[in-house]
A = this chain, B = another copy of it.
Amino acid sequence: MKSKQETIQIEIPKPLDQLSPSEIERKACIGKIMTYTLKSLTSTFVDQGFQWLLPVALSQCTDPLWPDPGASIDKRIEVDIYGKPVRTTASMIIHKLVAASTAYPKLFILSPNIRIEKAERAGTGKHIYEFTQLDFEARDATSKDIITLVEDAICTLIKDLKLDMKGELTTLCRCDTLKAPKAPFKIYDRVELEAKYGADGWEAGIAKETTQPVWVTNIPREFYDYEDFKTGKWDNYDLFLPQYGEVLSGAKREWEYAKISKKIERDQIKKENYALVLKMAKEGRLKPTAGGGIGMERLVGWIAGVKHVAETQPFPRVPGTVNEL
């Protein structure tokens, strides 16, 4: 069953060359908010001692994106270079685990992710087949540490932006409707939301109901998120924005060989694709970390009040629509 929000069809943003002068003005406004947001968040992370890594585009190993109840992948891209198969980056989660365990205890990356979503998601307004995550990870951090870090970063951003970008917010009719959130944000357990909205409706339900950003914890998904085998609870956390839904996905991570190995088997994922992380875990060289990834287009989409998240992209990446640029 599709959630109600997925069936709403939103107009597909046009490419740059087809915009009218007033649409160009609006695009420029959203662009200024993106610039402000990128500068604010990168500054916050650098000031907090995070190292800024550059992204990778092609790797032998990438995020399995499985099992993930939200995934809808039309195609996984694999090509050969120098005689070896590589995949386009779905996320840099595995890179982050290894980097945070070795030379970069606190790190972030502006990481372009490719997820060729099914074309039927074109009109949800929430899905694009290329997006950029501000992807971060910190050694020995707890979920609480990350939640506090993100709340501070977002509250500071919105507070400053409402002062400095008044003209742009006015043009976008967001001056009054964009409220500066207050930390701490409310935290829900996914189980209680499922009880209220159903297993397929809780994401849309909480996004529709809340007027503040809220956290949802304990979401069963990929092997690298920490799961307490005794209680069955997952130590992860997603941030949901009012109306706009999930904007951040994060977790405390697994680092013990036996658990990672068991979960990869349980998920029926190819072990050979995760040989390095398994080897490091077996040798005790994988460290406990926690982190997350902020979807930049969704965050700016919320701030700017767009109908379709692709409006925040200079070159829209709407599922099913391939433009020349």
A88 is an interface residue with CB less than 8 A from chain B? yes
Size of A's binding interface in residues, CB under 8 A: 70
Query: Are A104 and B54 in contact (CB-based, < 8 A)?
Result: no
Q: Chain A interface secondary structure, helix, strand, loop or mixed?
A: mixed
Contact B39 A35 (CB under 8 A): no
Q: Provide the residues of chain B in CB contact with A61, threshold 8 Å.
A: 324-325
> Does B59 contact A324, Cβ atoms closer than 8 Å?
yes
Q: Which residue of B lies closest to A29 (CB)?
A: B103
Which residue of chain B lies nearest to A273 when distances are taken between CB atoms in the complex?
A: B324
Contacting residue for A17 out of B82, B86, B285, CB 8 A: B285
Binding site for B on A (CB under 8 A): 16-17, 19, 24, 27-28, 31-32, 34-35, 38-39, 42-43, 46, 50-61, 74-75, 77, 79, 81-82, 84, 86, 88-89, 94-95, 98-99, 102-104, 110, 112, 114, 116, 119, 129-130, 132, 275-276, 279-280, 285, 296-297, 313-315, 317, 319-325
23 CB-based A-B contacts, threshold 8 Å: A17-B98, A17-B280, A31-B53, A34-B52, A35-B50, A35-B52, A39-B46, A54-B110, A54-B297, A56-B112, A56-B130, A56-B315, A57-B114, A57-B130, A58-B88, A58-B114, A59-B325, A60-B322, A77-B79, A82-B320, A84-B322, A95-B314, A275-B324
